[in-house]
Structures are given as structure tokens and as C-alpha cells.
Structure 1
């Protein structure tokens, strides 16, 4: 009996092959992953950008007025950086807003997102029935 090895290499995959999309073995399609909860930095960044664009101002103009670097302001608007309260207050002031105004705009966006999830039937917690207001006291 000859034990000669064939001249072909055998490939052993390191990872199992991904299952094809569609129904699984049981015939059921797996549920889609829940949409990710928005991060506060994304909401604040969106509010900063919306307000700046509504005022038809440039990044350079707002950054100079706020005394922060233009690349840093861009990163804030894109939700890439987590800003300190001092930086947020400076950016808000450069846009003619108070810090509370900026945070209210971000909170409104969070409420819209939460209501969208509730309308889709994905959120059923008792907290969604509560008032979604921001209360600031002097």
C-alpha cells in the first residue's frame, strides 16, 4: 500500500464560512439588530452643525469666535470628540446661544429619536410614557 501524498495542498479555513443571508435552518429570518442608541456627543454635534448652517456661518468663523480650533469644532460637529462643558459653552456662545439652549436642542433630537423608536414598537419601557421635557432652574 502506497502512502504517497498528493501534490496539492489542502486548505483549512481558519474561520467558518458565514451563513448566507435569508432564512435560517428553522425557516425563520433572524430579527434585525436594534438600531443603536444615539450618543450624546452625536446629538450635540448635530445641534451645533444645524445651528451654524441655519446662520449660514462657516466653521472657521464660529471656531475663531469660540476661540477653539477649526478641526476640533469639525470633530465636535461630527460626533467624533466628547467636548467639555467649557468648550460647549464657548461654541454655543459663538452661535448666539446659551449652553442650556444648545443642550435643549440636543435633548429635542433625543426625544425625536425616542419617539421614532416608540412608533416602531421597539421601545415599551415605562420611561417612554414620562414627560420628555428639560427643566433648568436658575
Structure 2
């Protein structure tokens, strides 16, 4: 049996109740609300690898076929596609050309993927990005 009246709702507090301040010393501060987790940006190697794999699969080509055409090892291309290796610009250009893309095309597709992944939905169905610039910028 419970000590509740039959028509009263049982209330289970989500936060502990505030306790009376200790007789000596200042009252403790209420806890600040937890900050919203920051949007985690993906690694560049993951984005480029995803683009390379998607393009290869869209062309219905095997890993071996593309690796041979790019003159890189099949295991290395696999590691690049899975985001496990940071490929040099020469390797990326070779893989892109093997897929019929220019290096600029590969970078543009990776930039679009970055925008897609880091965009967050806003009110009224539009999306907003964490950056006000929606273009590709490369620095030497």
C-alpha cells in the first residue's frame, strides 16, 4: 500500500530537490544548464573517401579497376576510401582522373558533402550552415 490519497498523482522529480543552505558559508550556486554539444565537423579524409567510393560505385567499377587505372595499390585506395589514410594531392588527383573527374571536381563534391553533413535544419524547412561562406577555398 502507498501513503497517497486515491485521486492524487504521484510526482517523480526529474532533478533533485534544492536543499537548505548550510548554516556556515554561502549557498551553493544552481547548476548551469548543460551546453548544447557543438556540431562535430568531419575529417577531410573521410569526406574525400566517401566521394571517391560513391563515384566508383556509381560507375559500377571495382576497387582493383580504379586502383590499376590510378596506378596506386588496391589496399591503399581502399584505406583512402574508408578515411583511414591521408592521401597526397598526387594520389587524390590520380584517383579522381581514374574515375573521369578532375581534382577540382573531387574537391567540389567533397565540399558539397561537407556542407550537407554540417548543415543543420532551421525553421521553415531551410538549412543553415555554420559558415556564412558557401564556396570552395583552398590555400597553398
Q: TM-score range by the shorter chain?
A: 0.5 to 0.7
Gaps of 5+ in 1: 1-22
Using a 3 Å threshold, how does the CA distance of structure 1 residues 87 and 32 change in structure 2: closer, same or farther? same
2:80, 2:87 within 8 Å by CA — same for their partners in 1?
yes
**Counterparts of residues 84-123 of structure 1 (less than 5 Å):** 84-116=88-120, 119=122
2:46, 2:81 within 8 Å by CA — same for their partners in 1?
yes
Q: Distance in 2 between matches of 1:113 and 1:49?
A: 17
How far apart are 1:111 and its partner, in Å? 1.1
1:45, 1:76 within 8 Å by CA — same for their partners in 2?
yes
Which of structures 1 and 2 has the bigger CA Rg? Answer: 2
What is the aligned residue count?
108
2:45, 2:86 within 8 Å by CA — same for their partners in 1?
yes
Query: Greater share of helix residues, 1 or 2?
Result: 1
**Counterparts of residues 39-118 of structure 1 (less than 5 Å):** 39-116=43-120
Could you say what the CA RMSD is over the residues aligned between the two structures, in angstroms?
Answer: 3.0
